[in-house]
Structure 1
Amino acid sequence: MKDNARIAILHHTGGGNLGDDAIIDVVIGNIRRRQPGADIVVFSMNPDDTTRRHGVTAFPLRRHCWSIGYKSAKNPEIASGGPYRVGEMRNLLLRIPRSLLLELRFLAKSYRRLKTCEMLVVSGGGQLTERGGPWSFPYALFTWTLLAKIAGVRCLFLNVGAGPLNHSLSRFFAKRALLAADYVSFRDRQSQSLAVSVGFRRESHVYPDNVFSLTVEAPADEDQRPSRIVGIAPMPFPFSDLLTPPDDPQSIQAEFIEKLADFSSQVAALSYRLQLFGSDVGADPKEIEHLRTILSSRHAISLPACEPVSSVDELLSRIGAMDYVVTCRFHGVVFSLLLNKPVLAISHHPKVAELMRTLGLSRYCVDMQNFDSETLFEKFLSLVSESDNVRQRMSASLTGFRSQLATQFDDLFPPLAQAAVRRLVASAGTEAVAVGQERQ
C-alpha cells in the first residue's frame, strides 16, 4: 500500500448512535497512527454530520440519507423535481423507472469515488443486519462490495457483527457481500456462525469490537465523591430486530420503562444517586424523559432534566463520574469496560449477552423482553458486593482485547517502517530466486 493511500471507511452511521461514531474514531485513529500519510474518506448515512464529528471528507452511503434520529433526509446529490409532476409520481409505472434511474446514477457516482481508493473498510458492529428490510443494509453492502470488486479496490470487513438475517434475500445479499471481500473478521463467534449458516464458508477471523482500542482518560478518584452514583441508560425497545413485530409495541415499551423505574426506586432507597443518560442522541432522549417522568409521578423521585451528550468524549466524561452502570446497549457495556465501571446489562440483542458472557459477567445480564425489577435489583446488589472482583476481571479483559486489536491493525495497516522492511524482504527474496534460476 502507498504511504499516501486513500482509504475509504463505510459505516451506517449518522443517526445519533455514539457507539457507531466511536468506531469511526477508532478506525481512523488506528490507521493514522500507523500510516500518517493516508487520505481517509467515509461513506456514511449522514455525510454532513460525519464530516463535522470526524474531520474527514464524507459521501453518502445510500441514495436515501439520515438525519439525527434516523429520520429520512434528502440526499443533496440526488436531483428532485425535473420534468415529473407530483401527480405523475403517484403513478407506479413512472415512479419505478425513475427510482431505478436515480439508483443507477447514484451507483455510478459512488463507483467513481471508490475507484480513487485503494481500500474499502466496512466497519461497525451491526453492518450485517436487515434492519429496515433486505433492501436497506444488506442491499447496500452487496452493492458496495460489488463496486469494490469491479473497481479493483481491496475490501475488508473489520470486526463486524451479524444478525438478524431472517429474510432469504437478506441472507443472499449478506453472503454475496462477504464472498466479494478480501478479508473478513467478526466481533464475536455468534456472528461468525451466522455467516457460515448463510453460506459464507471462506476463512474468517474473530476479534473484539473496535471500540475496545479507544484511548480514554482515567476517571476521577471515586473515593472523593460524597455518594455513589448509579448511571441508568434506557433505550427504545428494538422491535425492528424481531421477526414478527408485536401487535402493541407501545405497551411493551411502557412496561419496560415501568420496570426500570421500579428498579431505580429500589436503588435510590439505598441512598445511591441516580443519573439517567443515553448513548444514542437520536433515539434515547425520549425514553430518558419517559423514565424521569415515571420516577417523579409514581415514586416521588425528582431528577433534573437530562442534558443530552453530543459527542463520544462527553459521554465518556459522564460515565466516568459514575460508580455503577446499568445499560441496554452493546457499546454502553463497552464504554463501561473502558472506564472500569461495574456494569449491569439489560440485553436487547444476543450481541449484548454474548459480550457479557465473553467478559465472564453473564450473571450480571438479563434479557430485555422478560426480566423483572426484583431480579434486576438482586443482580445489582450482587454486582456491588463483588465490584472489586468485577473490576479486576474487566481490566484483564480490556488488556487482552487491546492486545488483539493492536495485532490486527498492525497486520492490516502495517506502520510505514514495517511495510518498507516487508517490501525489502520481498524484493530480496525475488532477486534470490532470479539468481538461482540463472545459475541453473
Structure 2
Amino acid sequence: MFGGGNLGNDGCLEAVVAYLRERHPDAELACLCSGPEVVSARFGIRATPLYWYSERERRPVLPVRVGLKAVGKVRDALRLVRWVRRQDVVLVPGTGILENTLPLRPWGFPFSVFLLGLSGRLAGTKVAMINVGANTVEQRSLRSLFRWAARLVHYRSFRDQLSRDAVLAMGVGGADEVYPDLAFALPVPPAEAEPGTVGVGLMDFHGGTGERHRAEDIHTSYVEGMKQLVRRLLAEGRRVRLLTGDEPDQGVVAEIVEDVRARSDLDPSALVFEPVATVGELMAQIAGLDAVVATRYHNVLCSLKLAKPTVAVCYSAKGERLMAEMGLGEYCQDARAVDVDLLVEQLHEVERRAERIRPVLAERAAVNAAALDHQYEVLSSTLLGAPVPAAAPAGRAS
C-alpha cells in the first residue's frame, strides 16, 4: 500500500530502498503498489499498480461497478502472479500487513497478501516480510488468509513481540526475529525550532474491523475529544501544530480548524497546519516541537525517535507496546474514549519530566537504529547472497 497517502507506509519503503541502494547498488528495483505514479516520481523506480480497478477513479452505475470489480479481481490475481515470477526477490517492507486494526474486507488487500506468498512459492521467488506488524484476528476468513500468507513467505521478521506472538497464535511457527520499526532507520532532517509549540497528531479514526456497527459513534467521540484538547491548549496560551499521517486525516483537521475559528475566545493564528508528503517532512515538523500528543502509530514513533516527550492516543495495542518499549507506557489513552482532563494532565507531566525523558528516548532510538543495521546484514545474507553477518548488537529487540 505504498504511494497511497499513508506516510508511515511510505517511510517503510523509503528505508528499504535506501538500504538496497547503499548495499546492493547493482540491484534493479521495481515496486507493486497502490500509488505507482507517486512511488515512481519519489524514488525513481519502476512501479506497477496493485489494483486494476479503483473506486476512487471510477464511478459507474452499480451493476457496472460490480462487474468491473469482479473482472478486476481476476485480472489483479493474474497480474500479481506474473509480476512475482519476474522478480528474484520480493521484499514487503514494514507496515501492518497482517493487522486488522483498521477496517478490512477479506477478499481485498488480505487476499492480495496471501496471493503474494503463494505466487512466490509457485514461481520459486523468495518473498520476505520485513519488520511487519500483526495482531490477533478473530474473523475466521481474515485469520486464515493471514496465516497462509505468513506461512508461505521465505523469510519473516516482526516490528514488535506483540506481532510475533499474534502470528504464533494463528498457528505459524518458526524462528522469526523481532526488530524495531523500519522508520527508526530513517535520517533525522534539519528543522526550525518552534518554542512553546505542542504537536497534536490526528487520525480519521472509525474503529477496527469488528467495530463497523459503531464506527460513526467512535469517530464522533474521538474527534470531539481532540477538539477539546486543542481548545484547552490554545486557552493555555500554547501554540498548536496539527500533524497527520494519511490523506483522509485532513478531514479531521478541517473540523478542528473550523471549530477554533468559530470561537471568539481563541486565537486561530496560534493553530498551525501545513500538509506534508513524506515522513521526512513530518519529522522536520516534529523536530521543532516541545511535546507531542498523537494517534497515528508513525506520528507517535517519529516523535519518540526524535526524543520528544510524547502522549499517545492509541487505536490498537501496537501503540501501547511501542510507548512501553520506549519507557513511556503510562502516557497512553484509548482513542475510543478520550479523557481530555487526563490527557492534559499527562501532557503537562511529560513536559515537566522532559529533561529526564529525552536522553532515555535518544538512547533507545540509537539502539533501535543499530538493530536495524544488523538486520540489513541478515537480509543481505539470507536473500541476496552476501556474507553471513556477525552477532546482533547488544540491546537489540528480540
Above 0.5 in TM-score? yes
* Residue of structure 2 equivalent to 1:393: 360
1:20 CA drift (Å)? 0.9
* Residue of structure 2 equivalent to 1:257: 223
Asked if 1:20 is matched to 2:4, the reply is: no
The 5-angstrom pairing of residues 5-404 of structure 1 reads: 12-65=1-54, 72-73=56-57, 89=64, 95=67, 102-130=72-100, 131-163=103-135, 165-220=137-192, 222=193, 227-239=195-207, 241-247=208-214, 249-280=215-246, 282-298=247-263, 300-303=266-269, 306-404=273-371
Compared with structure 1, are the counterparts of its residues 271 and 144 closer, same or farther at alpha carbon in structure 2 (3 Å cutoff)?
same
**CA separation in 2, counterparts of 1:100 and 1:285?**
31
Deviations 1:216-237 (A, max 9, x none): 13544x5xx5x41111122112
TM-score (ref. length: structure 1): 0.80
Q: Which moved more, 1:361-370 or 1:127-136?
A: 127-136
Contact kept, 8 Å, 2:12 with 2:94, in 1: the verdict is yes
Compared with structure 1, are the counterparts of its residues 110 and 271 closer, same or farther at alpha carbon in structure 2 (3 Å cutoff)?
same
TM-score (ref. length: structure 2): 0.88
**CA separation in 2, counterparts of 1:112 and 1:254?**
44
2:107 aligns to what SS in structure 1?
coil
Deviations 1:413-432 (A, max 9, x none): 259x993x66xxxxxxxxxx
**CA separation in 1, counterparts of 2:274 and 2:337?**
30
Contact kept, 8 Å, 1:229 with 1:323, in 2: the verdict is yes
* Residue of structure 2 equivalent to 1:432: none
Contact kept, 8 Å, 2:198 with 2:292, in 1: the verdict is yes
**Which letter maps to 1:344?**
V
Q: Which aligned segments of 4 or more residues in structure 1 are displaced greater than 4 angstroms?
A: 86-90, 98-102
Contact kept, 8 Å, 2:126 with 2:153, in 1: the verdict is yes
**CA separation in 2, counterparts of 1:268 and 1:292?**
12
1:15 CA drift (Å)? 2.5
**Which letter maps to 1:42?**
C
Contact kept, 8 Å, 1:31 with 1:413, in 2: the verdict is no
2:341 aligns to what SS in structure 1?
helix
1:100 CA drift (Å)? 5.7
Compared with structure 1, are the counterparts of its residues 103 and 404 closer, same or farther at alpha carbon in structure 2 (3 Å cutoff)?
same
Compared with structure 1, are the counterparts of its residues 114 and 87 closer, same or farther at alpha carbon in structure 2 (3 Å cutoff)?
closer
Contact kept, 8 Å, 1:142 with 1:176, in 2: the verdict is yes
1:13 CA drift (Å)? 2.3
Compared with structure 1, are the counterparts of its residues 147 and 263 closer, same or farther at alpha carbon in structure 2 (3 Å cutoff)?
same
- How many residue pairs align between the two structures? 384
1:108 CA drift (Å)? 3.0
Compared with structure 1, are the counterparts of its residues 202 and 266 closer, same or farther at alpha carbon in structure 2 (3 Å cutoff)?
same
1:371 aligns to what SS in structure 2?
coil
Coordinate RMSD, CA, aligned: 2.7
**CA separation in 1, counterparts of 2:104 and 2:224?**
28
1:275 aligns to what SS in structure 2?
strand
**CA separation in 2, counterparts of 1:118 and 1:87?**
40
**CA separation in 1, counterparts of 2:75 and 2:357?**
53
1:200 CA drift (Å)? 0.6
**CA separation in 1, counterparts of 2:258 and 2:272?**
10
1:88 CA drift (Å)? 7.8
Contact kept, 8 Å, 2:206 with 2:218, in 1: the verdict is no
Compared with structure 1, are the counterparts of its residues 250 and 178 closer, same or farther at alpha carbon in structure 2 (3 Å cutoff)?
closer
2:127 aligns to what SS in structure 1?
strand
